[in-house]
Structure 1
Amino acid sequence: MIEYKNAWFSVIRNGKYYFIDEPKSSDSSAILLRWKNKIVLVEQYRPAIRKLSIEIPRGYAEPGESSIDCAIREVNEETGFSITKNMLTTLGYLNPNSAILTSRVTIHYGHIDDSQNQKPVSTEINRCIFATYNEFCSMVLSGTITDGFTISAFALAMLKTDMEKTMSQL
């Protein structure tokens, strides 16, 4: 039974259990990017946690938009970088909170051409942060980065690529 519904999600009651259905999440994307051997992060205010969050670019797909197209658009909107399909590799999928969310998000990994310059970012993002491998790890271990999409994408990249070796050359 639907208890509440808006443009982004519905709260569903199934007996004594409640969960959130996010139908727009099926083609959403979270994108771990490298540029000039640094990890591209964005800082933005997240009302749910009432503070700034440092995380990778991500977002919901527009109607009819594929996960890859969503990734390309979100990267451009949030960082100012232009990427293409051939610059992205799908690493896997993430169910951010399988206890209460129906969400399934595609995790992509990409490398931005070192010669590309960053353009101004959108108003939804405070700033871009470019972290070396060691800086990123320190930010996670210190609790500066707590975003589950970001940490999960990094873990997938570590398991599926030779990212540590590549990033350690800095």
Structure 2
Amino acid sequence: MKSKFLLDSKQRRKLKFENKQVVLDWISDLDNGLVFENKKMGMSLKYFAIVDEKNNFQYDTFGIEEREGNCVSVVLNQKDEICLLNEYRFMPEKYFLSCPRGFSEINEDRLQCSLREVAEEVGDFEVIETIDLGQFYQNTTFFITLIGVKLVKIKISNVEIGKNQESEDICGIGFYEPDAVKQMIKEGKIECLITLGALMRYFAFVES
């Protein structure tokens, strides 16, 4: 399993000394209000000042801007069971039950992002149907860009943990009856807010 360490100035020097091929993707340009930017991930942290109606300074903060194509997917199999991954997240270093999701690549729309991430994280499948379930903000304190929600119904015959899943730090893939997923939510077993938002969109869609 991959791990993380704080990349302070000492660790940056050590990392570059031990492996001169390492390229750090985050750049900073505070002169233009850019705290950090990562073009590969399509993400930037921008520096802002908040003022009142008379233009009096209140406080400074930052906003996270991402690519428009980022997407989370509610994946159903041919029995209408919901797919949940048992996936390790480095922040805050624990496993989560989560829906497939990911960063879009350059010039990739939400549906393309969704289908690619499902292929990478779930496995080989045949698409039965896709439906746009809308979008939401991950966090209204820092996030500037909406994340899309797609319903992806698939025909899948064999679910195994392969190399793709191992590289994504996924140790389990399961398909669950909707009532079982609701019970997991009730019991606090699903803690990922992006997953909870996507599932809420899905349940509102099917129950309306």
Quick check: TM above 0.5? yes
Higher relative contact order (CA 8 A, sep 6+): 1
Instruction: Tell me whether 1:79 sits opposite 2:141 in the alignment.
Output: no
Decide whether aligned partners of structure 1 residues 87 and 81 sit closer, same or farther in structure 2, where only a CA change above 3 A counts.
farther
Task: Report deviation, 1:152.
Answer: 1.3
Identity of aligned residues (%): 22
Task: Report deviation, 1:17.
Answer: 3.0
Q: Report the residue type matching 1:140 in the other structure.
A: I
Where do 5+ consecutive residues of structure 2 fail to align?
1-32, 50-58
2:45, 2:65 within 8 Å by CA — same for their partners in 1? no
Post-superposition, which runs of at least 4 consecutive aligned residues in structure 1 deviate over 4 A?
none
Task: Report deviation, 1:83.
Answer: 4.4
Q: Secondary structure at the match of 2:145?
A: coil
* 2:176 aligned residue: 131
TM-score, normalised relative to structure 1? 0.84
Instruction: Tell me whether 1:116 sits opposite 2:157 in the alignment.
Output: yes
Deviates more, 1:88-97 or 1:29-38: 29-38
Q: Report the residue type matching 2:35 in the other structure.
A: E
* 2:37 aligned residue: 5
- The alignment of Structure 1 onto Structure 2 pairs a total of residues equal to 160
Instruction: Tell me whether 1:19 sits opposite 2:62 in the alignment.
Output: yes
Larger radius of gyration: 2
2:161, 2:173 within 8 Å by CA — same for their partners in 1? no
Distance (whole Å) between structure 1 residues aligned to residue 195 and residue 111 of structure 2: 17
Instruction: Tell me whether 1:161 sits opposite 2:203 in the alignment.
Output: no
1:91 to 129, 133, 149: 133
Distance (whole Å) between structure 1 residues aligned to residue 179 and residue 132 of structure 2: 24
Where do 5+ consecutive residues of structure 1 fail to align?
164-170
Q: Secondary structure at the match of 1:136?
A: helix
TM-score, normalised relative to structure 2? 0.70
